[in-house]
Amino acid sequence: MSPLPFPLPSEDRATSPHTGWTRAHWEATADGLLDAAWKWSTPGRALLDLPGRPSRSGVRSDGLEGYARTFLTAAFRVAGAKGEDPHNWLERYADGLTAGTRTAGRDDAESWPLILDHTVFGQPMVESASVAIGLRLTRPWLWDRLDGATQDRAEAWLRGALRHTPAPNNWYLFPFSVAGFLESVGRGDAETARARQRALDLLEVWYRGEGWYADGDGRAFDHYNGWALHLYPVLDAYLSGDAELSALHGARLSEHLESFSLMFGADGAPMHFGRSLTYRFAAGAAVGMGAVSGHTPLAPGVSRRLVSGSLRYFLERGSVGEDGLLGLGWHGPHDATLQVYSGPSSPYWASKAFVALLAPAEHPLWTAREEPAPSEGPDRVLSLPSPGLLVQSTRADGVVRLHNHGSDHVRPHEGETADVADPLYARLAYSTATGPTASANTADNHLSVRVGGSRSSRVRIHPLGAGHGDGWGWAASWHTPVFAGGPPTWPGLRVESVTVVRGRYELRVHRILGAPAGSRAEETGWATGPRDAVSSALYGLHGWEEREDVRAPQGTAFTRWAVLPRLGADVEGTELLVALASLTAEEDPAPLSTAVSGVNVDGDTVEVAWADDGSMTRVGFAPLEVTHRLR
């Protein structure tokens, strides 16, 4: 575990038996992160120019990002302490606001960049939301003490978010948040009302049920649900006291937490899945917001277990360097985790986790005794048909796995090409203990068809259904294999995939349709490193001819170097392939060959008999039907 460059209070194992952490640890962490970041401010305090590779938006935008995202930490810290500000953080942010808006748009040492359309490096629109929320949270101690001219300049800059076009996803909640602040200080008008209603209308379009939103018009389901699509409207309702908004979006947040709370491992790690993972412990923002607002199905001790566990997990694993700065990556630096829009200040959207500090010291979130996380309870299997996800949690090792049969990162208007294949969405499975391999390495947890030397990618995912019963569950999807070399697709080529889970086992059944002559199918398992606590196994049950281990020299976010199992078989026309996979931290797990007592394949139907209790899993295609029963 990595030592921290700033001090923390002593652990309290009486009230926090799982993490040892209290509210004081959260305040100390916020202060430590802020102190380190402020060493890189410009003289006028308008920009925090943190060291590191610049984002595609440029260093001036990155400097604003440093100011805005750390302001969010300071605002939660001070507002949660009812205005107590022992380090005078708000004085610095007030100075920066004054300097940054004085001549906004000018190319000088302090001026903030203007907010423009997302197509012309519109990153300042993202940061405007953090500035607005920070001002709203700290109004009595910052905004109300500014002179009128500075307030007017700040409003003029913020209104750029209302007058320009956001990206077609969660970005619409940035002008929503700006408008909410302006209305809260008596500066609302028809323009702010339109921005708010536009965002609320889009949320109705993007809501798919079971507490899950798509991040835009496609099928991107990821951590943006928690740290954006739920956080902004529920926080707005909490601050404004809007009962109607609170009832609608609070209920959705509560339902989201029913499933999302299971996606943290017993070690505190959130699911390694989706983009912007460098925001790290921001994954706990939805849990904290639920506890603060009261819109949560979780007991206070469970909520604290999750948020404190996640924060501690990252702080102990190199997310903060010796200089006290959050670095770009997952544990430590990791380029494959990053997107092109990430810059040196991007990790500070982790600030959203500090929403938990809005719960005062006497709140049950901090006074209740910690309780086990959902992943520390009995084995769980939970299907989510709306997003097309299947969650599998095992108590023996505290590992949680997410089987993906519905979330991709392809917009409806985009074509399917191998160029847009995204390892953070395209894999069949993700976990709290492993990450996907890099694009240049062999893809983990993937079914590929190799034609003429070119391996296919999985890009757009079409869900076919999901369900669960007592101790088991399933999810299914189909995709069109796309290729980087030669023809991008082959006529009639299609892959239908079903995952059935029980215990630590994953039954993977694929039906390949229209495979050209000379094709070869390959299936890979989990990628793990030589020092990982988890082990990966993959065993062919039907149709597979060969097994080998493949190296991934670029490793994953969890290991510098990885290896993954791979099955292979020649295929042509219609083929049915069945395999058993496992990822476990159990010591000396039994080989997969002993888990199944029999396999029967009849046309497009496969029946698998389990050795432990004699139960039978049946998967049929055309029509798709998945059942599991005792004999």
Distance CA 209, CA 119 (A): 30
2 pLDDT above the threshold of 70: no
pLDDT at 420: 83
End-to-end CA distance of the chain: 48
Which amino acid appears at position 521 of this protein? A
Which amino acid appears at position 379 of this protein? D
State mean pLDDT over 173-181: 98
Output the DSSP codes for 241-301: T-HHHHHHHHHHHHHHHHHHTTSB-TTSPBP--SS-GGGGGGGGHHHHHHHHHT--SS-HH
Q: Distance between alpha carbon 519 and the CA centroid of its chain, in Å?
A: 35
Which amino acid appears at position 184 of this protein? S
Token reading at 14:
């009486």
CA–CA–CA angle 21, 560, 562 (5° rounding): 110
Q: What is the dihedral of CA 47, 50, 55, 57, to 10 degrees?
A: 10
Percentage of residues in the chain with pLDDT exceeding 70?
Answer: 100
- Containing H/E element for 519? strand 505-524
Which amino acid appears at position 355 of this protein? V
Distance CA 124, CA 229 (A): 19
Average pLDDT, the chain: 97
State mean pLDDT over 7-12: 96
Percentage of residues in the chain with pLDDT exceeding 90?
Answer: 93
Hunting for tokens 């909490």 — which residue is that?
Answer: 238
The answer to whether 265 and 432 are in contact (CB under 8 A) is yes
Which amino acid appears at position 388 of this protein? G
How long is the chain?
A: 631
Phi (first) and psi of residue 392, to 5 degrees: -135, 120
Distance CA 561, CA 551 (A): 8
Distance CA 537, CA 402 (A): 17
Which amino acid appears at position 509 of this protein? V
Distance CA 401, CA 506 (A): 10
The answer to whether 36 and 325 are in contact (CB under 8 A) is yes
Distance CA 251, CA 228 (A): 16
**Cα–Cα distance list, 396 to 271, 306, 379, 401 (Å):** 18, 18, 8, 13
10: helix, coil or strand? coil
| pTM confidence score | 0.97
CB atoms within 10 A of CB 54: 15
**Each residue's pLDDT tens digit, 317-347:** 999 999 999 999 999 988 887 888 889 999 9
**Each residue's pLDDT tens digit, 412-463:** 888 888 888 899 999 999 999 999 999 999 999 999 999 998 999 999 999 9
pLDDT at 336: 80
**Each residue's pLDDT tens digit, 61-100:** 999 999 999 999 999 999 999 999 999 999 999 999 999 9
The answer to whether 406 and 389 are in contact (CB under 8 A) is yes
Distance CA 330, CA 272 (A): 9
**Confidence category of residue 281, pLDDT binned at 50, 70, 90:** very high
> Comparing 86-95, 355-364, 418-427, 491-500, which segment has the lowest mean pLDDT?
418-427
The answer to whether 428 and 446 are in contact (CB under 8 A) is yes
pLDDT at 631: 75
The answer to whether 126 and 117 are in contact (CB under 8 A) is no
Extended beta strands in 325-461, E state: 380-384, 389-394, 399-404, 429-431, 447-451, 454-457
Distance CA 459, CA 422 (A): 7
The answer to whether 377 and 395 are in contact (CB under 8 A) is yes
**Confidence category of residue 603, pLDDT binned at 50, 70, 90:** very high
**Each residue's pLDDT tens digit, 142-174:** 999 999 999 999 999 999 999 999 999 999 999
Residue of 522, 611, 541, 615 lying closest to 580 (CA atoms)? 541
463: left (phi over 0), alpha (psi -120 to 50) or beta: beta
Token reading at 285:
């923002």
pLDDT at 419: 82
Q: Which residues of 545-582 are buried (b: 16+ CB within 10 A; e: fewer)?
A: eeeeebebebbbbbbeebbbbbbbbebeeebbbbbbbb
**Each residue's pLDDT tens digit, 283-310:** 999 999 999 999 999 999 999 999 999 9
Q: Is the peptide bond before 623 cis (omega within 30 degrees of 0)?
A: yes
Distance CA 328, CA 49 (A): 15
Q: Report which DSSP code applies to 93.
A: H
CA–CA–CA angle 80, 85, 88 (5° rounding): 140
The answer to whether 580 and 593 are in contact (CB under 8 A) is no
* Sequence-ordered list of residues with C-beta below 8 angstroms from that of 378, at least 6 positions apart, any chain: 395
| DSSP H helical ranges for 380-445 | 423-426
144: helix, coil or strand? helix
State mean pLDDT over 468-489: 95
363: helix, coil or strand? coil
**Each residue's pLDDT tens digit, 365-398:** 999 999 999 999 999 999 999 999 999 999 999 9
521 pLDDT above the threshold of 90: yes
Q: Distance between alpha carbon 499 and the CA centroid of its chain, in Å?
A: 22
